[in-house]
Structure 1
């Protein structure tokens, strides 16, 4: 699905009776171009019959962080305590927001629940996320708060050397404010959460999501502690080595430690574990067994956002009833395409692009 088709489909989901001319006006294109895109959507099975009857599709509710990513990089070795020549880029970020954008680019119906400030970063975040095909009506805008910001410094190999996050605004995404999105969470086909949410907000989300499959990104070793009371409710957990070690208390210095950590998580009630072991690859474990995949084979330009693309691929695999092994393989393709892109989210990500990467 092209980016323009994603935009049109998102508008049709909000108003199935919207006239083509109004679609054209909102998107800044001609009515005939809209008609062509709608014909393509019908041929691809996203629209059935007249009146823009949309094909039935379970939507995903992504709840958590939305922030502006500011990334500094240099081609030389970092010199601490000194000014380093390089490049500085800004792009929309935040774990839940990134997962939502990636899912939308893959063709899934995704609704984002987050909070931003009434400032230039907040407006830019919502506009870019909506343009990617995500429904952002569940996002709250606070006039007296600054939009969350994530600042990272990258080494010459593209890996992160240091990061600072200013995410205080997420503490104001309280259960009371989330209550307005209760029906959105309850009717979702799956829920994605990140631990940028406060402990109280996570408790509310898990209570309201009921038996819905819950996909959780622990975000960091420190924030991972917030999900400890709720491990038994998690369908898919995607920790990295440090996060898994912090939660399990088990060593994870070597690849052979991964199965023991996964068994510990299963003992707590987690159904599926997808463990990122850096250069050692990805270890996955679930009801149907376990396995390893090598780390993505690609030229690394930017590591920020690759884990979120991996999570989006896992959710997409579940939506499309893939096995865990096939879901992880598809998700690794999403991560590879993101690693090879300077932006936090690869604007060229699509199912076709992932398939082409996997079949190359």
Structure 2
């Protein structure tokens, strides 16, 4: 039996508006589209597309979007049996405006995730922890993040966390040393680490970092920095169409590497390759992502 990965966190619908040279306080011509979204859900779909057994845990409302998200996510081999549907509650919605290939602003309505509480974790405990890796995102309430970390003292599973946003990253301040891998960007890192780091040189100067946690910091066009190993990785070239989902994709590719017993260096490159594939799509999860596509991209980068 193949080992399974559990993913717990945000499930929602993405509504994206695309326009060029947006004029504020004005109606701008463009295109609007909606698709499945949510950090945890995106990661689960990415892993499913990469042929990794994955279970998704989260909350949706009893509405059109909730039914749509479950139906679409199942198509990629994700086990959605543990997603709970809540009556009289709206499925989470993430609204973003994209200007010249980058996100201008976004609004996240994730109130439904309040129903992902201790009772939900207790009810699904065996299924959550019967996994090789457990992936969390900070859409989860701080109390629930702490509760899962506490439960893991017994199970000793590898925890991997995506910090999601500057505000939400602050939730992990007291538990960061109990998580094996944290995937974050520089702004989110500063938020939960109480730092004001501005560049790679300042990251290299951080002293006395002896935590068991490996913090991997995404730096956009400046690449990746592995804090524990004090190692910088240059960025890969990408023809960017939309940056939404790129961080989720990086984490997914990184986990794909770990799952297949690759080194940290190789796993980070798998993460970068997955991120580039996603950056070159208008969707938060690339429609062309597959195990073969990722492996081919990885080996092309290796032999450059």
Q: TM-score range by the shorter chain?
A: over 0.9
2:226 is matched with which residue? 284
Matched, 1:272 2:214: yes
3-state DSSP of counterpart to 1:222: helix
1:132 is matched with which residue? 76
Residue correspondence of structure 1 range 245-260 to structure 2 within 5 A:
245-260=190-205
**Alpha-carbon shift at residue 271 of structure 1 (Å):** 2.5
1:216 to 146, 161, 165: 161
3-state DSSP of counterpart to 1:226: helix
**Does the CA contact (< 8 Å) of 1:185 and 1:209 recur in 2?**
no
CA distance in 2, matches of 1:259, 1:57: 38
**Alpha-carbon shift at residue 270 of structure 1 (Å):** 4.3
**Alpha-carbon shift at residue 220 of structure 1 (Å):** 0.9
**Alpha-carbon shift at residue 357 of structure 1 (Å):** 1.9
Q: Output one character per residue of 1:37-83: Cα deviation in whole Å (capped at 9) or x when no partner.
A: xxxxxxxxxxxxxxxxxxx2111110000010011111x21100001
1:183 to 107, 119, 126: 126
CA distance in 2, matches of 1:100, 1:206: 20
1:100 to 30, 44, 48: 44
CA distance in 2, matches of 1:82, 1:260: 45
2:110 is matched with which residue? 167
CA distance in 1, matches of 2:44, 2:286: 13
- The structure with the greater share of residues assigned to helix is 1
Give 5+ residue unaligned stretches, structure 1: 1-55
Matched, 1:122 2:66: yes
**CA pair 237-270 structure 1, distance change in 2 beyond 3 A:** farther
1:72 is matched with which residue? 17
2:243 to 285, 298, 303: 303
**Alpha-carbon shift at residue 290 of structure 1 (Å):** 3.7
**Alpha-carbon shift at residue 202 of structure 1 (Å):** 1.1
CA distance in 1, matches of 2:263, 2:64: 42
Q: Output one character per residue of 1:329-358: Cα deviation in whole Å (capped at 9) or x when no partner.
A: 011000000000111101221221112223
CA distance in 2, matches of 1:173, 1:59: 21
CA distance in 2, matches of 1:246, 1:260: 18
**Does the CA contact (< 8 Å) of 1:284 and 1:328 recur in 2?**
no
Taking structure 2 as the reference length, what is the TM-score of the superposition? 0.94
Taking structure 1 as the reference length, what is the TM-score of the superposition? 0.80
Relative CO higher for 1 or 2, CA cutoff 8 Å, sep ≥ 6?
A: 2
Larger Rg computed on CA atoms = 1
3-state DSSP of counterpart to 1:238: strand
**Alpha-carbon shift at residue 144 of structure 1 (Å):** 1.3
CA distance in 1, matches of 2:256, 2:227: 18
CA distance in 2, matches of 1:170, 1:71: 21
Matched, 1:57 2:2: yes
**Does the CA contact (< 8 Å) of 1:116 and 1:122 recur in 2?**
yes
Matched, 1:86 2:86: no
Residue correspondence of structure 1 range 323-338 to structure 2 within 5 A:
323-338=263-278
**Alpha-carbon shift at residue 239 of structure 1 (Å):** 0.8
3-state DSSP of counterpart to 2:113: helix
CA distance in 2, matches of 1:355, 1:318: 14
**Alpha-carbon shift at residue 89 of structure 1 (Å):** 1.1
- The structure with the greater share of residues assigned to strand is 2
RMSD value over aligned CA atoms? Answer: 1.4
